[in-house]
Structure 1
Amino acid sequence: MESISEEDKENVGGKAYSLSRLREKGFNVPKYFSVTADAYRKFLKDSGLEGQILLEIARKDFGKMRWEEMWDTSLRLKNRFLNSSIPEDLENVIRSEIKKSYEKVPVVVRSSAPGEDSANTSFAGIHESYVNVRGVDPILEHVKLVWASLWSDAAILYREELGLDIKESSMAVLVQELVEGQRSGIVFSKDPNNERHLVIESVYGLNEGLVSGDIEPDRWILDRENGAIVQHVVASNREKSVRLKEGGTFIEELSSTFSDKEPLSEDDISRIYEMAMLSEKVFDSPQDMEWTIRDDEIFLLQSRPITTLEDKEKSWYISLKRTFDNLKALRIKIGDILIPEMISDSGSMSQVDLQSLNDIELAEMIVSRRSTFEKWDSIYTKEFIPFAHGMRLFADVYNEKMKPSDPYEFMDLLSNSDLLSMRRNRKLNLLAGMIRKNDSLRKNIESGNIGGDFGKYFDEFMEVFGRSSYVEDKRQMIKLILELSSHPENEIISQKDPKELIENFLAIFDRKEKKYASELLDIGRASYKLRDDDNIYLGRIEGHYLDSIKEGKSRLSKRGIEQNITDDDVIKALKEKNYIPKAQVITRDLSHPGNVRIRQIQGQPASKGVVTGIARVIETKDDLFAVRSGEILVCDAIDPNMTFVASLVSGIIERRGGMLIHGAIIAREYGIPCVTGIPDAIDIISNGDEVTVDGYLGIIVIQRQ
């Protein structure tokens, strides 16, 4: 840190350079050293990662990616970082610096990217920092983890939003001695909401709980002119503190002595105020600073400009990282409250005989069911989708600990054949099996005679699963079952023994951390299952809503009213006998670009294997029931209500990308190749094209017919 100068600013990054300047001005800064951006670039070049990164970011325009695709790209890159070695000459230099002063002391390994935390952009919370890292090899490993965080989904998204050139990104790393303070906090030398004020926030113990949002701070608002306290907002629940453990940190309960006492005295507040105002003079701009107090001595940990970019514009990127405690609470809410309420709402709807209602009652029922569907659709977005990050959290920890050659190996630990969609598919295959073994039954069904045991089991199937917007037409389902019965059953293929993988994963944790690891796996599995099941539950509610629309249109057709009218028109026409709605004009773009002579497309690998087959492009619900055994399913987006055709197809191609989307999940369950993230898949590929799906490389090869 002693040798950092103005010329090194871009090489050591914002954090390291700022601390160097403050140290020169007499601030109490813990000792540190910088692993420069040049070192990062050498690592990329010598390890071959440079070319791999370019290949990954060229797969698809980031602006067209969903979060699942962005996370997928990040996961693959992070795994490559973890499985790549630092060049020997570079490692020796870093190892030597660690041994000088840091081998036997705990350190913080922080990001310090060039351009990070400038006056116009703040990457606070975007890149990774690791607290309480001990030993030469662990420090080297965490340097790689910080380098990899340059390619986290949040960092990629944020750079994209700011218009920064992702290909030119680089990362320096700050390795700083860890000071275990008894009290810590942050200070804004200028309140972003009131330029006359300065804000101090403080907690007991380390800053980790404050920064992560796990611990509520006491907050003091001061007058910038004289440091007078304008307001003190007491933490509503001052009960927790972050302490060190053997590598990492943990949250513990405060004793009553401290829980009833504010963490800062008036003298502490005065000293922090003076430090903040002096730092502002050094940089000639308002500062956001982190500090800690050990034995009454204040240590300045980092200082960055208060960005002109409002925090709310960045909050979405940081919110991608759902904390473990948040996920546990969300699981209880979803499992104990929301899912039972969804089932109850769906059950209530199924009790209503729509044909017994008069027109006005039916119109009111449509309004009621639409309102219920819209309510649950909103809850799905706000509550259910965020819980999918349980899979993501498990994946991050699994890959960091296990360093598998396959970055998607974690999915084999989550795989769950008790998914509602898989139970539905097994029931379908049982029905198909009855026909497969009985030629006379096949002939009866083909002639429209559905009775006996088959008819009983089929009616039971439709009662349980026939309420989704896709599985509602008995005629179409019979057609599908007949197609299934014409070919051997496509059994679920286990990719690896999950028991062995689970045992290996849990074995890497020490006794104290095993409970956390088991809970994390449990959350990941629950998230995986719910990712599929919640769509089935929502599909049932939507199905009931569509049933009421269908009944309304049926009645209106007897009055000579055309079927292609809006739902609002259906409601109005049922209420007003003289109302004649205008039919919607449906146009199709006949200049279908399927004739574009693209022969090969690069997407994202989602399920291993290579297969060649005939493309079946899905553009409407009816297209699903035209699928034939062995075809390649080509679609815009799959949801679990559509995956009843999975046991028929030999491969899946989907526009949406990512390992966590439903097409990828069901493909891995059945062990069929899948490539996702293909822009305009249904336009580029036509029905009847011969396509090869390479689920290892994420490549689609098209042979036009």
Structure 2
Amino acid sequence: MKELVISMEGINEKHREFIGSKAFSLHTLHDEGLKVPPYTCITTKAYEKYLRSSSLKGRITLELARKDIKDMRWEEMWDLSLRIRNFFLNTPIPETLEKEIRDKLDKYLTDVPVVVRSSAPGEDTGSTSFAGLHESYVNIRGLEAIIKHIRLVWASLWSDAAFLYREELGLDIKDSSMAVMIQELIAGEVSGIVFSSNPENKDQMVIEAVHGLNKGLVDGDVEPDRWILDRENSSIIQHTSPSNRERITLLKNTGTALEKPSDKISNTVPLSEREVHELYDIALVLEKRFGNPQDIEWTKKDNETYILQSRPITTTDDREKLWYLSLKRTMANLQKLRIRIENELIPEMVSDTNAMRSVKLENMDNIGLAREIMRRKELYEMWEKRYKDEFIPFAHGMRLFGQVYNDVVKPDNPYEFMDLLSSAGLLSIKRNGLLSRLAGMLRNDVSLMNNAKNNLIEGDFKDDFEEFFENYGHSGIFKSREELLKLIMEIASNPEKEMPAKKDTTDMEKHFIASFSEKDRACAEELLDVGRISYRLRDDDNIHLGRIEDQYLQSLNEAKHRVVSRSFSIDTGDILDDDELLKSLNDETYIPVKKPDVKKETLNNKEYQRQIQGQPAGEGLVTGIAHVITGNEELFNIKFGEILVCDAIDPNMTFVVPLVSGIVERRGGMLIHGAIIAREYGIPCVTGIPDATQIIRNGDEVTVDGYLGIVTIRRKSGTG
């Protein structure tokens, strides 16, 4: 097949593999006599020609070679996706290909608003569903805008969510392709979805409807009316109304807006009982035609029902995919999430932490301590779940800002937008500032320093030290005042490390805002604000979660101390799991079973690599002696100027960053805590190096290139 662009009327069976499942299913519905919006399809041949005729294919191949996808966390996949997306933004469609697309589209849809949708081959089958993983753009007008959004849909083939889902299914991303549908936008008065078979109960059907466009329902911004029907006889089992009815409407030039409609519409149920049963009938027709239960998007305009798309309801367990999709939030959703996090969740975390701190564990009897451990464990697990379900998705504020910034500014560096975010004050940086102040007091007073060496502190220093320990000593890192004092003396024994001067981003910010039309500039400013809050909370929420975890660990340590004190066969260095400790508390005659101390495998000399490739995460070039950290207790041995090599820097480890001259992490991504802190301190940083703590050894001379993401190792004899 040679066609690069095919209109709806020209599609036949031979085009199926070149136009994707979504486009071909609409062709099938059209042939069945159902109303579908007119559309034109940009085939996979056009996508492949675009890759071949530019440098894109080679650049994507190089990006994929950096690290195996199965070893990546979501932050790394988002970074990979962002870089590839930037390639598409900055790589124009070749003239000959663009002319062919323009000539074809000029005959159809360019005088009306359109939806630019993905339609990947194999995208939606009975066992897999890529719903929501690829992009669709609503209310696009004019050839120039359509051409731009074709590239963005192509780029969405490489989205982080699509990476994660394909990895889960064992699909090779390199073999994927993408067709694009240019579909006339039907601005329906009412829209919705139908699940011809309720995923929760196969004997039922589910219909959801909203006023206005479908986009708000699909994105989760608008709560729908919901009907549950008996599949056997179409009777309505239940109708649930939303707390308030909102709708998505078209903006005059491009895009959509969320609005609260008039009272008349707000108080009107979107569908009559007759219309509900009409949709029931249509759903059964589609299910029969395709041979399996269908997830159907529809809209109603002028009393006509249009089918926007129909795909199989996947038969796989989609819990992980749903979490991937939860990372991707709309602006309206992010604003609601921000209010909840700042006004409800973080104050609740602080309250829970303070409540646990007020409990005197040492005064409890063993049974009471066992109950307290279980209570703290449940509390910590609850907050871990909330962190995954709400805090991590709010990190999409940074991602959304970054995508929009790159779309309108088109910088060569896809991470340029980070400069506009880093002006936000981070809790861990404020904490380090207080630590530096304490170190400065010792540095400037010889007698105070000499007393500190003998664990004698007094005066203002003692007051400030005790206040710091009270506020920050419960981090799970400082097990005693002596450890904290040792760290402060190490910082004080070396020249004060100045924070780098903040880059003046005034012109950058003005340029970004000016890239929008006057009526959209307030939205651009709001997006920047959400991005900055998201950046700050990405760091701060880790600290709050760490404090809750530490309170749980303190209760376990109290239990372990009691068990060790009454048993000659157990000492403080032994590893005991929670269940064993609880059994020992509830039964004083029980001797807990020690867990084996599993030593990490180390790489042998044959696997020594002189140079390893990671991801640049903090600009700069530095050479120093490696200090490899495999446990928090080793942090207090770090010396000034060393290169910190670790699995990942968590917020409770941040206090050592002012001592080090470079950072190397196994975990990757520009959004991880270590990368954020490295940028704040202006420290060269490379992340995303598998086996970093095994390849690099204590004492190796290491050069960290934070521009290219390369770490060079010069092995010293006898290191290990």
The two structures have a TM-score, normalised by structure 1, of 0.91
Question: Structure 1 CA distance, aligned partners of 2:84 and 2:152?
Answer: 11
SS in 1 for 2:41: strand
1:495 offset after TM fit, Å? 6.3
Secondary structure, counterpart of 1:85 in structure 2: coil
Question: Match for 1:497: what amino acid?
Answer: D
Cα root mean square deviation, aligned? 3.0
- 1:347-362 alignment runs, 5 A limit: 347-351=354-358
Match of 1:478 in 2: 485
Q: Is 1:92 the counterpart of 2:87 in the alignment?
A: no
Normalization by structure 2: what TM-score? 0.89
**How has the CA–CA distance of structure 1 residues 222 and 410 changed in structure 2, closer, same or farther, with 3 Å as cutoff?**
same
Q: Which residue does the alignment assign to 2:699? A: 688
Contact map agreement 2:26 2:36 (CA 8 A) in 1: yes
2:245 is matched by which residue type in structure 1? E
Separation in 1 of the partners of 2:580 and 2:206? 56
Does 2:533 match 1:526? yes
Q: 1:237 to 1:633 in 2, by over 3 A?
A: same
Aligned counterpart, 1:38: 45
Alignment equivalent of 1:398, drawn from 391, 405, 422: 405
- CA gap of 1:259–1:204, structure 2 versus 1, over 3 A, is same
Q: Indicate if the aligned counterparts of 2:221 and 2:333 stay in contact, CA closer than 8 A.
A: no
Cα shift at 1:624: 0.9
* Aligned twin of 2:147: 140
Taking structure 1 as reference, are residues 292 and 541 closer, same or farther at Cα in structure 2, changes over 3 Å only?
A: closer
What amino acid does structure 2 have at the position aligned with 1:235? Answer: S
CA distance in 1, matches of 2:199, 2:546: 45
Deviation digits for residues 527-562 of structure 1, max 9, x if unmatched? 222222223233334444444555565566665642
Aligned to 2:81, what secondary structure does the other structure show?
helix
Please tell me whether the aligned partners of residues 18 and 44 of structure 2 are also in contact (alpha carbons under 8 angstroms): yes
Residue 444 in structure 1 maps to residue 455 in structure 2: no
Secondary structure of the equivalent of 2:708? Answer: coil
- Candidates 367, 381, 391, aligned match of 1:384: 391
Q: Which amino acid aligns with 2:542?
A: N
- For the structure 1 residues 557 and 357, does the alpha-carbon distance in structure 2 shift closer, same or farther, using more than 3 Å as the test? same
Q: Which residue of 1 aligns with 2:209?
A: 202
Give the structure 2 partner of residue 76 of structure 1. 83
Specify whether residues 133 and 378 from structure 1 end up closer, same or farther in structure 2 by C-alpha distance, changes over 3 A only.
Answer: closer
Distance in 2 between the 1:11 and 1:152 partners?
A: 21
In the alignment, the residues of structure 2 paired with residue 112 and residue 13 of structure 1 have an alpha-carbon distance, to the nearest angstrom, of 5
Q: How does 1:230-379 map to 2 (within 5 A)?
A: 230-231=236-237, 233-237=239-243, 239-245=245-251, 246-265=253-272, 268-269=275-276, 271-280=278-287, 282-309=289-316, 312=319, 314-351=321-358, 370=377, 372-379=379-386
Tell me what 1:172 maps to: 179
Q: Which amino acid aligns with 1:418?
A: G
Structure 1: tracts of 5 or more residues without a match:
none
Deviations along 1:602-627, one digit per CA (max 9) or x if unpaired, are: 22222222222211100122211111
**Kept after mapping to 1: 8 A contact 2:645/2:692:** yes
Residue pairs, 1:20-59, within 5 angstroms: 20-59=27-66
Aligned to 2:624: 613
Deviation, 1:290, is 2.5
Cα distance change on mapping 1:257 and 1:450 into 2, 3 Å: closer
Alignment partners' CA distance in 2, 1:120 and 1:575: 49
Q: Does 1:635 align with 2:646?
A: yes
Check if 1:675 corresponds to 2:679.
Answer: no
Aligned to 1:121: 128
- Between 275-284 and 208-217, report the one with greater CA deviation: 275-284
- Alpha-carbon offset, residue 266 of structure 1: 5.3
CA distance in 2, matches of 1:583, 1:216: 52
Aligned mate of 1:408, from 415, 431, 440: 415
Question: SS of the residue aligned with 1:242?
Answer: strand
The CA distance in 2 between the partners of 1:371 and 1:223, in whole Å, is 39
Q: What is the identity, as a one-letter code, of the residue corresponding to 1:663?
A: G
Q: CA deviation at 1:138?
A: 1.0
Offset of residue 48 of structure 1: 0.9
**C-alpha separation in 2, matches of 1:575 and 1:281:** 61
SS, match of residue 176 in structure 1: strand
Contact 1:610 1:694 in 2 (8 A): yes
In structure 2, C-alpha distance between the alignment counterparts of 1:116 and 1:12, rounded to whole Å: 11
CA deviation vs aligned residue, 1:471-501 (integer Å, no higher than 9, x gap): 3432222222222223333322256323333
Q: 2:662 aligns with which of 648, 651, 673?
A: 651
Aligned with 1:308: secondary structure? coil
Q: Secondary structure at the match of 1:647?
A: helix
Equivalent residue number for residue 514 of structure 1: 521
**How far 1:629 moved relative to its partner?**
1.7
Counterpart of 2:13 in structure 1: which amino acid? Answer: E
| Aligned-pair CA distance for 1:250 | 1.4
The gaps in structure 2 that reach 5 residues or longer are: 1-6
| 1:378-435 CA distance string (max 9 Å, x none) | 4434443333332223223222232222222222222146312111111222222233
The alignment partner of 2:411 has SS state of coil
Please name the residue that 1:496 is paired with: 503
**Whole-angstrom CA distance in 1 between matches of 2:582 and 2:31:** 74
Written as runs of structure 1 = structure 2, the 5 A alignment for 1:423-438 is 423-438=430-445
Match of 2:527, as an amino acid?
L
- Report the equivalent of 2:4: none
In 2, the alpha carbon distance for the partners of 1:194 and 1:575 equals 44
- Deviation readout 1:65-122 (Å, 9 max, x if unpaired): 2111111111111112111111111111222233333333211100011111233322
- State the percentage of identical aligned residues: 55
Judge conservation of contact 2:614–2:689 (CA < 8 Å) in 1.
Answer: yes
Note the alpha carbon deviations across 1:40-59, whole angstroms, 9 max, x for none: 11222222111121122222
1:162 aligns to 2:169 (yes or no)? yes
Size of the aligned set, in residue pairs, is 704
In the alignment, the residues of structure 2 paired with residue 272 and residue 587 of structure 1 have an alpha-carbon distance, to the nearest angstrom, of 60
Equivalent residues in 2 for 1:504-583, closer than 5 Å: 504-550=511-557, 559=566, 561=568, 562-563=571-572, 564=574, 566=576, 581=592
**Greater Cα shift, 315-324 or 173-182:** 315-324
Report the CA distance between 1:370 and its aligned residue.
Answer: 5.0
Change (3 A) 1:703 1:302: same
The answer as to whether partners of 2:327 and 2:394 remain within 8 angstroms in 1 is: no
Partner of 2:354, secondary structure, is: helix
